[in-house]
Structure 1
Amino acid sequence: MSKKTTKNTPKKPNKSKRSIPTTLILISILLISNAVTLYYFMFMDESVLMSDVPMGIADVAGASEDYIGKTITLIGYLVYAGGNYLLVSNPLFYFNNSLDVGNHVVIGGTIPDALSQSVGRQIAVRGVLETTDTDDGLMGMLFESFFDITFEVTYPGVYTDTRYQPYPEFVLIPHVFDATAEKYAVLYSGGIQPGKDYSRYWNDIIYMYFILQMHGYQSQNIYVVYKDGVGEDTYTPVDYPATHDSLDTVFGLLSAEMGRADTLFFYTTNHGGSSGISVWNPMDAGGALTHTEVSDWLDSIDCRNMIVVMEQCVSGKFISYLSAPNRVIMTACKNDESSYSADTEGNWDEFVYHFMSALVGFPWNSDGSTVDADFNNNGYVSMREAFIWAAAMDSRPETPWYNDKDDGIGYNVIQVAFGSGPWSGDNVYLNDPPLP
């Protein structure tokens, strides 16, 4: 009798059962272990004081009433700006001008010199939490002690807000310009309020001022509208405080002075947002300079060329309002982006640092290198060439925009460098080339 052979049919896998990745198991174990450890130190081990358990700034900000007046330990990145040490939950909040009550505290009290060695590092600071500004709820910490968590700067950037002085190279650069037409400029920085009026804004202003002078802009034709109306050094005169009334005055003067053969250079470096450009709040309670207000001011000027350079956050939103014939507009970022301070070059804003370097042919950090943005080798750097250089060299997470087509559209560096023209910015310069 023959045996009936049967095949061993493999069982189908049960699709309802899935293997759990080993990595996920390890992560879960670590998270549970950390939670148990934290719970133990906070609630069971009486040898560890609650004030010594490090906490995040956002956690404390969300329940500040529970901690005001108590000794706590906070973790963050150390920044020195506006004359104060700041503990910031993420350095990007400082670099892109978005500090608020939920992401930083001001460190006060008697601060040891050793703290300066930890600027840029992630540290833990122990002290008494207090309210430093009752109007907006900004928190401060009365310093007691600190220790480093990291011993190197892990994210590139300038963590010390340093005010620069003019370099001696200025006197070596020839002033080459066409004196047949008048050139005017408005350099603007609002600063919002004390503590947020970072020195890099002043650095951006003073070097742009000198660059304009190198290119034939007479000092009496350059209007500096800055913060509270007081300059930070003896080199650069400040004409007006950063208020609505000041710009009403300045553009009223310009509309009366300027002729159709003249050029206007309008430059802003400051805090910004979706509503516009910040003013100096202690002297102006009217809110931001809106897109419509800036458009109206510029429209009051009838001139040959107008160059608009904007560094503030959300600056790209201005393009749709300001785009017009004979205008070259460049912004540090798109209409929904933050703009950033420089990462490795020094205490500047990233985009305008490279823009200024393109105009003078060398970087402002004096590293001995040169900059050649004269791509067509005609001996002059046009506004389109300066934008291409600045945008290509910009290494921050921002997207510079450009417009000279009177179509209200912001173009990125790839479109401007390789897109079809004509580009009117090819024929717009700070110093006009001699007529053929």
Structure 2
Amino acid sequence: MSKKSKSTSKKSTKSNRNTPITLILVVVLLVSNVATLVYFMFLDESVPLSEVPMGIADVAGASEDYIGRTVTLIGYLVIASGNPILVSNPLFFFNNSLSANNYVVLTGPMPPLFAESVGKQIAVTGLLEVDDPDDGTLGMPVDSFFDITVEVTYPGVYTDERLVPYPEFDLIPEFFDPTTDKYAVLYSGGIKPGKDHYRYWNDIIYMYFILQMHGYPSENIYVIYKDGVGEDTYTPVDYPATHDSLDTVFAELSEEMGRADTLFFYTTNHGGSSGISVWNPMDNTGALTHAQVSDWLDSIDCRNMIIVMEQCVSGKFINYISAENRVIMTACHNAQSSYACDDEGNWDEFVYHFMCALVSFPWNGDAYTVNADFNDNGYISMREAFIWAALMDSRSETPWYCDNEDGIGYNVGQVIFGSGPWQGDNVYLGLGPPV
């Protein structure tokens, strides 16, 4: 054997001997680190638990170890429905996916200057408690806090507030069509207190006014909203967001509506793969399923249906509810979250731009021109309104469109450049061009 071969053999043998030693050292170090962490967190009273900052998921996953103890949690400060919450990631608030594992309700009096930290990542210290025993949502009073980031780093509206736009509504011209009876159902479930964000109410009241502008009598507009009580005295709420309410409303509509009429069906709030959320405190039977919504819509025999859905996973409905006389627009595709506005204001992104398209006006007062009349005929068709809303939508969602019975959702590029024919070119919320 050559010297080189012997040398290589010796190095290989030495390396093989060192490998188990290295592994043993790594294991010893890992065990030592874990033991040290456990010791200082649970055994050594000289290092209080409150001085060990943790993520929300850390305590939510082992809440029995932390309930009743003072902890420090890191998250983003959001004001939801007037209530401060700490969210592990602001996207969970913007895309309607808050759960017991990603947010904590902040209770009690808020410290001075707390409002200046809205939207920032902060560390909050307080006594951890159970806020909602039904779903395990945690809560804590704010004993102290400090900012981790000095400014808001992710675009969005972090203070969920009711809008009061009613004086402005009088300044907008009407687009009244007296030739047909029009009916509408505006729906928002909200799930439970704390998840019933005010932006859903804002989506409802603006759409309610737009419908009135386009010839929908108030007595023909059914508002189905969380617990059946509105957030102000201007927009009437008819029913709570329950299965029974939908049964009642569609039973009435099936008797009242005729084949020359139009139905506008509009949903906003939370959704998922199983359907659309209800108001859980008044209905514990689960979501409004795709099959149930399909049955309700099928009970109506009318000329046109315009269906706009804002909730998460709304695109999944297209396969269930598409039909020859229906124009369907959803904020996202069939396996996607939908989002709140990033910088327009406290609405949801897709329906905000849809509502702007219908009136050729930016509702937040921004200095830009809204013109969805792409064929310059003086009227906004439903296909044009969808194209404008989808093009202006800057969130991570893919709006879908369908105006035939093929059950397929089309993205904005397909709707712009597709050959059609598109039924939505001849469907208008109010008065259309002379035939």
Structure 1 residue 83: deviation in Å? 2.8
Task: Give the counterpart letter for 1:382 in structure 2.
Answer: S
Q: What is the distance in 2 between the residues matched to 1:367 and 1:346?
A: 10
What is the correspondence of 1:210-359 to structure 2 with a 5 Å cutoff?
210-359=209-358
Structure 1 residue 261: deviation in Å? 0.8
Conserved 8 A contact 1:178-1:434: no
Q: Which moves more between the two structures, 144-153 or 126-135?
A: 126-135
| Pair 1:186–1:176, CA change in 2 (3 A) | same
Structure 1 residue 108: deviation in Å? 1.1
Q: What is the distance in 1 between the residues matched to 2:301 and 2:339?
A: 33
Structure 1 residue 105: deviation in Å? 0.6
Name 1:179's counterpart in structure 2.
178
Structure 1 residue 46: deviation in Å? 7.7
Q: What is the distance in 2 between the residues matched to 1:279 and 1:72?
A: 34
Task: Give the counterpart letter for 1:223 in structure 2.
Answer: Y
How many equivalent residue pairs?
A: 408
Q: Secondary structure at the match of 1:113?
A: coil
Structure 1 residue 396: deviation in Å? 0.8
Q: Secondary structure at the match of 1:320?
A: helix
Q: Secondary structure at the match of 2:355?
A: helix
The two structures, once aligned, show a CA RMSD in angstroms of 2.3
Name 2:366's counterpart in structure 1.
367
Q: Secondary structure at the match of 2:143?
A: strand
Note if 1:390 corresponds to 2:393.
no
Q: What is the distance in 1 between the residues matched to 2:293 and 2:426?
A: 25
What is the correspondence of 1:389-428 to structure 2 with a 5 Å cutoff?
389-428=388-427
Structure 2: which 5+ runs fail to align?
Answer: 1-14, 16-29
**TM-score, normalization by structure 1:** 0.89
Structure 1 residue 369: deviation in Å? 2.6
Structure 1 residue 159: deviation in Å? 0.7
Structure 1 residue 432: deviation in Å? 2.5
Q: Secondary structure at the match of 1:265?
A: strand
Q: What is the distance in 2 between the residues matched to 1:99 and 1:410?
A: 27
Name 1:381's counterpart in structure 2.
380
Q: Which moves more between the two structures, 308-317 or 239-248?
A: 239-248
Structure 1 residue 133: deviation in Å? 1.4
Q: What is the distance in 2 between the residues matched to 1:342 and 1:124?
A: 26
Task: Give the counterpart letter for 1:81 in structure 2.
Answer: A
What is the correspondence of 1:112-131 to structure 2 with a 5 Å cutoff?
112-131=111-130
| Pair 1:40–1:287, CA change in 2 (3 A) | closer
Name 2:8's counterpart in structure 1.
none
Name 1:50's counterpart in structure 2.
49
Conserved 8 A contact 2:356-2:370: yes
Q: What is the distance in 1 between the residues matched to 2:186 and 2:401?
A: 19
| Pair 1:45–1:240, CA change in 2 (3 A) | closer
Structure 1 residue 48: deviation in Å? 4.7
Q: What is the distance in 1 between the residues matched to 2:330 and 2:319?
A: 12
Q: What is the distance in 1 between the residues matched to 2:415 and 2:263?
A: 22
Q: What is the distance in 1 between the residues matched to 2:242 and 2:47?
A: 52
Q: Secondary structure at the match of 1:384?
A: helix
Q: What is the distance in 1 between the residues matched to 2:58 and 2:352?
A: 36
**Percent identical:** 76
Structure 1 residue 366: deviation in Å? 1.1
Task: Give the counterpart letter for 2:387 in structure 1.
Answer: I
Task: Give the counterpart letter for 1:165 in structure 2.
Answer: V
Structure 1 residue 175: deviation in Å? 1.6
Q: What is the distance in 2 between the residues matched to 1:342 and 1:102?
A: 24
Conserved 8 A contact 2:266-2:309: yes
Conserved 8 A contact 1:106-1:140: yes
Name 2:5's counterpart in structure 1.
none
Conserved 8 A contact 1:41-1:48: no
